[in-house]
Amino acid sequence: MTNRQILLVSRPQGIPEPENFRLVETLLGDPAEGQFLVRTHYLSVDPYMRGRISDRKSYADPVALGALMVGGTVGTVVASRHDRYREGDVVVGDWGWQEYALTDGAGVYRFDTSLAPMSTAVGVMGMPGLTAYAGLLEIGKPNEGETVFVTGAAGAVGSLVGQIAKLKGCYVAGSAGSPSKVEHLTKELGFDAAFNYKDSQDYAAAIAEACPQGIDVFYDNVGGPVSDAAFTHINLHARVVICGQIDQYNAEQPPQGPRLLWNLIVKRARVEGFLVFDHGHLYRQAQRDISGWIKEGKIKYRETIVDGLENAPAAFIGLFHGENLGKQLVRLAND
Amino acid sequence: MTNRQILLVSRPQGIPEPENFRLVETLLGDPAEGQFLVRTHYLSVDPYMRGRISDRKSYADPVALGALMVGGTVGTVVASRHDRYREGDVVVGDWGWQEYALTDGAGVYRFDTSLAPMSTAVGVMGMPGLTAYAGLLEIGKPNEGETVFVTGAAGAVGSLVGQIAKLKGCYVAGSAGSPSKVEHLTKELGFDAAFNYKDSQDYAAAIAEACPQGIDVFYDNVGGPVSDAAFTHINLHARVVICGQIDQYNAEQPPQGPRLLWNLIVKRARVEGFLVFDHGHLYRQAQRDISGWIKEGKIKYRETIVDGLENAPAAFIGLFHGENLGKQLVRLAND
């Protein structure tokens, strides 16, 4: 049968461009004994992938030129010669930007759609969900009544961080990149305050207004000047969770900024970077909690969906222009 | 009786200068009921004092212009109308840059000279000692076999950090600012490696050579370019202890440098600033341990001593030129 895939064909300079990717048609055989064939329903595009397509030294080897683009995926089993998977099973994994995949099941997990819809398996119930849950609760450790400030607050991770912090009794503020995102945060997601950083001349003043009691937990998805300003507004014994630095991912030169370390002494503060892969032991617990909160109406999630594999590069590139509200997905087949 | 004091009379721009201080003679009365009179034997001069004489916002109010210069002190009681202190007692406190002080005992503690000589009360057995002990053991948490890298390694704090890390079974490397300091670290204090940063063109290469297994605990007294390079050489789950940033204290403009946060994600690393004042509960334990290690010959300490109150400003200023080996003291009276 014919499969369609998207390959990485060149490394971006700065923000990725469509030319860095190429759509190809390939042939796929039938499952061998112990294999099964998956049809992709949703691809996840995420900021971290920018690091994976760079040749900058990082936590994982870069995607090779000419290789299938990586990414989280959810789909259904359409043919199986595997003991544990049957036709119709909904499975989640990392088989990348392709319409079909043959797999022996390594790194693939069954997803329980009674917990939440299929698309959430790569969003609020998947990697971004666990990222928010583990980063906030295990590293940020917010206490009731404390102030939590989140950058990239309208994104897949940030919007969940803020809502979980509200559930824990915190005052929550966030920054986002458009008036409609700011309204979404305060009107729909229950944030106490939010501001549009693209509309601000003075980030320190905007943060001071949004966080009148200072910041106890700073959950940073963005980096750069907004984060610099947040560092000047942290409280004694603050915890700063470095989840992402999307502002930096496309930098051509080693980015420079104000030195932040002195203020960590003054405030006896802690800054910690983390990767969700180190927190896999919390995956089931996070899914159980988040599913429950969604069903109780305590957590809302948004998805920005584009259709068609050929639109995956544009959806990915759009992340760096702030085009997504909540989780950015590419739909290849309906549920 | 006549007392001599040193006052702060202007705020330094950049590195402090002698003109920022003034020696004055004042009159001191006899102790009232509940007071005692102390004769200062040693003044401590420390890098943190640079922050105290700036009007930059920090963890403590700045020393007012015209006020007595602050600082740690040790001396003997020469007259007492206080229940708990008698003539001849050796006491440690913070009565600042003056030859005599009247006190009601608040913030003053008896020092046991059977543990170590009087001068160490403001050095290896005092605030710098506790700073090294608590910062390394409570925040850095080194494990046997790990690599500990210390900046300002020949200073009062750094030299103790390195030696305690050796006692805990670590590989220890450090940076210092002269060939004789480097030799002192490796030949006398047991450091596994050390380099002279003033003689290095490529800090990253110097650190890579000194720390062939990468850095697990980075104890930073200095900040600036050497520390930037150390951040690029940390291992997975590294702990960075921000004790001091002497490279930054005299900055006229907000210092700029490479952004470090992305690397914290890649390495899942933690950076934590601390102040010794938060670790006072460890004071007696640190004194007991350090005194024992000194007596067993496991810990060596050096003091750089100048005589005379009038030389205190020069001794303080010399810290920023790297003139001290180990603890810098000003002696006002012999033991």
pLDDT at B221 over 80: yes
Size of interface A-B (CB pairs under 8 A): 111
Class of domain A2-123+302-331 (CATH, top level): alpha beta
Q: Testing the interface with B: which of A54, A232, A240, A265 to mutate, by most B Cβ within 10 A?
A: A265
Predicted pLDDT of residue A25: 96
User: Is A204 an 8 Å CB contact of chain B?
Assistant: no
Instruction: Give dist(CA A261, CA B243) in Å, integer.
Output: 10
Confidence of residue A147 (pLDDT cuts 50, 70, 90): very high
Same fold, A2-123+302-331 and A127-277: no
Q: What DSSP string describes B57-71?
A: --SSPPPPTTSBPP-
pLDDT tens for residues A88-113? 999 999 999 999 999 999 999 999 99
Q: Determine, for residues A272 and B275 on separate chains, whether the beta-carbon distance falls below 8 Å.
A: no
Q: Judge whether A154 and A187 are in contact, CB under 8 Å.
A: no
Other Cβ atoms less than 10 A from the Cβ of A28: the count is 16
Domain borders along chain A are 2-123+302-331, 127-277
What DSSP character marks residue B259?
Answer: -
Burial class (CB within 10 angstroms; exposed 0-12, middle 13-18, buried 19+) of A237 = exposed
Provide the 3-class DSSP secondary structure of residue A330: strand
Predicted pLDDT of residue A92: 97
Q: Which two tokens stand for residue A249?
A: 């991912």
pLDDT tens for residues B274-289? 999 999 999 999 999 9
List CB contacts of A253: < 8 A, sequence separation 6 or more. Answer: none
For B221, the closest chain A residue by CA position comes to: A262
Q: Which residue has the tokens 């222009």?
A: A321
pLDDT tens for residues B73-93? 999 999 999 999 999 999 999
Confidence of residue A194 (pLDDT cuts 50, 70, 90): very high
Containing A40, the helix (H) or strand (E) segment is: strand A36-44
Q: Which two tokens stand for residue B6?
A: 């040193």
Interface of A with B in 13-52 (CB under 8 A): none
Query: ipTM of the predicted structure?
Result: 0.88
Homologous superfamily, domain B127-277: NAD(P)-binding Rossmann-like Domain (3.40.50.720)
Q: Judge whether B141 and B280 are in contact, CB under 8 Å.
A: no
Q: Determine, for residues B264 and A256 on separate chains, whether the beta-carbon distance falls below 8 Å.
A: no
Indicate the pTM of the whole model: 0.92
Q: How many CA atoms lie within 13 A of B144 on its CB side?
A: 2
The three-state (H, E, C) secondary structure of A175-216, written as one string: EECCHHHHHHHHHHCCCCEEEEHHHCCCHHHHHHHHCCCCEE
Instruction: Give dist(CA A174, CA A166) in Å, integer.
Output: 12
pLDDT at A19 over 80: yes
Q: Determine, for residues A264 and B275 on separate chains, whether the beta-carbon distance falls below 8 Å.
A: no
Predicted pLDDT of residue A140: 98
User: Is B61 an 8 Å CB contact of chain A?
Assistant: no
pLDDT tens for residues A50-85? 989 998 777 788 999 999 999 999 999 999 999 999
Please report which residue ranges of B86-155 form alpha helices under DSSP H: 127-134
For A228, the closest chain B residue by CA position comes to: B259
pLDDT at B10 over 80: yes
Predicted pLDDT of residue A157: 96
Work out the percent of chain A whose per-residue pLDDT is above 70: 100
User: Is B253 an 8 Å CB contact of chain A?
Assistant: no
Predicted pLDDT of residue A193: 98
pLDDT at A9 over 80: yes
Mean predicted lDDT score pLDDT of chain B: 95
User: Is B269 an 8 Å CB contact of chain A?
Assistant: yes
Predicted pLDDT of residue B303: 95
pLDDT tens for residues A161-170? 999 999 999 9
Instruction: Give dist(CA B14, CA B3) in Å, integer.
Output: 30
Instruction: Give dist(CA B155, CA B303) in Å, integer.
Output: 9
pLDDT at B107 over 80: yes
List CB contacts of B275: < 8 A, sequence separation 6 or more. Answer: A265, A268, B59
Confidence of residue A174 (pLDDT cuts 50, 70, 90): very high
pLDDT tens for residues B144-195? 999 999 999 999 999 999 999 999 999 999 999 999 999 999 999 999 999 9
